[in-house]
Amino acid sequence: MTHEPTATTPRSRLVEQILAFRDERDWSQFHTPKNLAAALVVEASELLALFQWTRDSEMDARCTEKREEIEHEMADVYIYLLLLAHSLGIDLDAAGEKKMNLNAEHYPVEKAKGNAKKYQEL
């Protein structure tokens, strides 16, 4: 099930551009949810590889040095996420808001502030 973007937001225009790019190349046949999820993970791994073995004390310099590559990998992750959301008919804004509300329940400030424990451990 796919849903065409209806609004004229910057994101909807980007989705339209991505879909046109995909369709001009007849790639939709390859864009199953499984394949899109796999591509998303691959691109996220490529993003992570840019930081691999970088000491925390060197992170600012690394981010400056690799900024364009980081930006490209983040864009790849975003593009595949948008394609997957489009393919599944998921409104990312609504899903994000719903998830943040759930996070607020799982991680109340009085229990979660200042620690990195999983909500089951709070």
* pLDDT tens digit sequence for 76-90: 999 999 999 999 999
- Cα separation, 70 vs 77, whole angstroms: 11
pLDDT of residue 120: 81
**What is the rounded average pLDDT of the residues 104-120?**
90
Query: Would the pLDDT of 64 be above 80?
Result: yes
The structural domains of the chain, ordered by start, are: 10-90 (1.10.287.1080), 91-122 (no CATH)
Q: What is the pTM of this model?
A: 0.85
Percentage above 90 pLDDT, the chain: 84
Which residues 6+ apart lie within 8 Å of 51 measured at CB? 59, 62
Which residues 6+ apart lie within 8 Å of 5 measured at CB? 11, 12, 15, 16, 86
What is the overall mean pLDDT for the chain?
93
* Helical segments of 33-91, H only: 33-49, 59-65, 67-88
| C-beta separation of 107 from 119 below 8 A | yes
